Amino acid sequence: MTRPKPWDNEQSAADLVAQLIGGTPTVRDGHGAPPSTHDFDVVLADGRVIALEVTQEVVPAVLAQRSTEAKLEWSFDRLDSEWVVDVREPADARALNAEIEDILALLEASGVDSLLVGRDEIPSEIGPPLGRLGIRLLHRLGPSSPGRVIIGGASVAGSTSPSLVAAVVADHSSRADNVKKLSKADSADERHLFIWIRADRHPVIAAMSFSDVPAEHPSLPARIDVVWIASAFERPSVWRYDRSGWHIITPTDDDDPTEIDHLPFGTC
């Protein structure tokens, strides 16, 4: 089975912004582009141009884990089902890849469709590897030949607040690389920064699921007009911040970002 194409977070962000504000995305930071070129232009119907730079809020160790996962094969001939496996992150992707087939083959042979650590009785044969690999949940989706494993991040406890979203905006909008790229977009009418919130940033994701916006109003550099914040889920929460304040985007039927097929599901 061919591995799924890696998620193109930059194209997904450009598509989402274009759909929400009504425009057409054009790649700027492609092959042969000068150094420090922003990622996309979004050209509006009236001819105005939005320069867009895309970044991500993610734990570096988890990003490294995902990069390793993408290089590994997650189809297994001994399995006859597709499984979701949620793990504590960051996880050892290579160790997980080496041992998960044996674990799931035992569950399939035993007729187990779902196993949640801490709730369900754990077969003695797989207890030690589950703990060692940080596996929290194994859930059978349905038949598949060969079998396939989808790795996800297990939810973790932690406090959340809208202030966390403000902190993300303040951090990324002040990073030298983001400011430099958008500052060089001299021909653009506006300059937008887009921040994907990856699934491993659970407290920030949780904060965006509520309707309370931050009390804080981060100061934006002169060359950044708008910051978009979106959860990297199939059905993303989308916020926009500019000098007028915070805006929670409620898409209409015509500009529903959930219809964009580039977006990842759950973890990405």
> Any idea where the domains of the chain sit in the sequence?
9-60+157-259, 62-153
Confidence of residue 253 (pLDDT cuts 50, 70, 90): very low
**Model pLDDT, residue 19:** 92
| The pLDDT of residue 261 is above 50 | no
3-state secondary structure of 267: coil
Q: What is the pLDDT of residues 41-58, one digit of tens each?
A: 999 999 999 999 999 987
pLDDT-based confidence at 36, cuts 50/70/90? very high
Non-local CB neighbours of 120 within 8 Å, separated by 6+ positions? 114
The pLDDT, as a whole number, for residue 158 is 59
Alpha-carbon distance of 15 to 31, in angstroms, equals 20
Which pTM was predicted?
0.68
The one-letter amino acid at 34: P
Three-state secondary structure call for residue 69:
helix
Residue 47 carries which side chain, given as an amino acid letter?
Answer: G
For every residue of 121-156, which 3-state class applies, written as one string? CCCCCCHHHHHHHCEEEEEEEEECCCEEEEEEECCC
Question: How far, in Å, CA of 33 to CA of 179, rounded?
Answer: 18
Helices 163-174, 176-183: axis angle to 10 degrees equals: 60
**In sequence order, what are the residues at sequence separation of 6 or more whose Cβ sits closer than 8 angstroms to the Cβ of residue 7?**
262, 264, 268
- Report yes or no: 164 and 208 within 8 Å, Cβ to Cβ: no
Q: What is the spatial distance between Cα 134 and Cα 91, in angstroms, rounded to a whole number? A: 7
Please state the separation of Cα 144 from the chain's center in Å: 26
Task: Measure the CA–CA gap between 11 and 228, rounded to whole angstroms.
Answer: 14
Arithmetic mean of pLDDT, 150-166: 81
Tokens of 141: 């989706």
- The string of pLDDT tens digits covering residues 176-226 is 999 999 999 999 999 999 999 987 787 898 899 888 999 999 999 999 999
CB 115 within 8 A of CB 122: yes
Q: What gap in Å lies between CA 162 and CA 186, rounded to an integer? A: 33
Question: What digits encode the pLDDT tens for the residues 9-24?
Answer: 899 999 999 999 999 9
Question: Please, are residues 232 and 201 in contact by the beta-carbon 8 Å criterion?
Answer: no
